[in-house]
């Protein structure tokens, strides 16, 4: 398979997605780099076929890949998904497009409620047990808080809300948490049919604005 575009080289990430049928128990995907070297970008055993398979490719203006999955293997719907970053936020304290105060790298306990940029690769989450996500490549997991917030796990906000519910006369110290969310659309496999890709909407996936609770 070959994909080419002058914009591929500046891509933040590229994934190859394809449907494999009549395959053996193993599939391997090789990418030929610009220097001629071949690297394995995917090598795994597959429990069944047909099945959707994805591989993370190395950005290049021209992408050449080869799929090995047995003599009678059939490859369908090969697609290269490309992700770019438009604009880059500063690591210093500032204001983002939503009007949020962005946390600095040396935030202190007395700092105002702010947002910390954090990006997660879905491939890494998949290794931790998350269902395969074919698009997008990355997840904006930016979170609200400052130095004080960083010392607590995510469920700390639920604990605070429960405390306020049952102890209204004894409010805990104010905490910085998401005050509004935005949805995230992800492409994944249909739970009942591995040949079908579906779009799911995670309603409260991304923190949009921060505020004190």
Q: What domains sit in the chain, N to C, each tagged with a CATH number?
A: 2-83 (no CATH), 94-212 (2.10.90.10)
**129-135 CB contacts, 8 Å cutoff, 24+ apart:** 131/188, 131/189, 132/52, 132/54, 132/188, 132/189, 133/186, 133/187, 133/188, 134/15, 134/17, 134/52, 134/54, 134/81, 134/187, 134/188, 134/189, 134/197, 135/15, 135/17, 135/81, 135/186, 135/187
Q: What is the mean pLDDT of the chain?
A: 73
pLDDT at residue 99 is higher than 70: no
pLDDT at residue 181 is higher than 60: yes
In the chain, what is the greatest distance between 2 CA atoms, to the nearest angstrom?
72
3-class SS of residue 192: coil
pLDDT tens-digit profile of 27-59? Answer: 889 999 888 888 888 888 877 778 888 888 887
φ, ψ (nearest 5 deg) of residue 11: -70, 145
pLDDT tens-digit profile of 121-177? Answer: 777 777 666 777 777 777 777 878 654 444 444 455 455 556 556 665 555 555 677
User: 34-48, 67-81, 82-96, 199-213: lowest mean pLDDT where?
Assistant: 82-96
Q: Is 96 exposed, middle or buried (0-12, 13-18, 19+ CB in 10 A)?
A: middle
- Name the pTM for this structure: 0.47
């Amino acid at each position: 398979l070959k994909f080419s575009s002058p914009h591929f080289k500046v891509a933040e990430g590229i994934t190859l997605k394809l449907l494999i049928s009549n395959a053996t128990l193993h599939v391997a995907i090789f990418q030929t780099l610009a220097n001629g070297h071949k690297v394995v970008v995917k090598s795994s055993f597959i429990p069944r076929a047909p099945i959707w398979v994805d591989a993370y490719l190395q950005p290049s203006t021209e992408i050449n890949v080869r799929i090995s999955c047995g003599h009678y293997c059939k490859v369908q719907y090969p697609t290269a998904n490309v992700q770019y970053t438009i604009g880059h936020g500063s690591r210093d304290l500032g204001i983002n497009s939503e009007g949020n105060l962005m946390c600095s790298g040396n935030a202190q306990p007395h700092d105002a409620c702010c947002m910390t940029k954090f990006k997660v690769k879905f491939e890494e989450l998949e290794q931790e047990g998350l269902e395969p996500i074919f698009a997008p490549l990355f997840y904006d997991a930016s979170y609200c808080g400052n130095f004080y917030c960083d010392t607590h796990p995510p469920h700390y906000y639920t604990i605070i809300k429960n405390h306020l519910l049952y102890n209204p006369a004894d409010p805990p110290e104010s905490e910085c948490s998401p005050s509004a969310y935005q949805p995230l659309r992800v492409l994944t496999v249909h739970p009942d049919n591995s040949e079908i890709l579906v779009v799911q909407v995670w309603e409260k996936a991304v923190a949009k604005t921060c505020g004190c609770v």
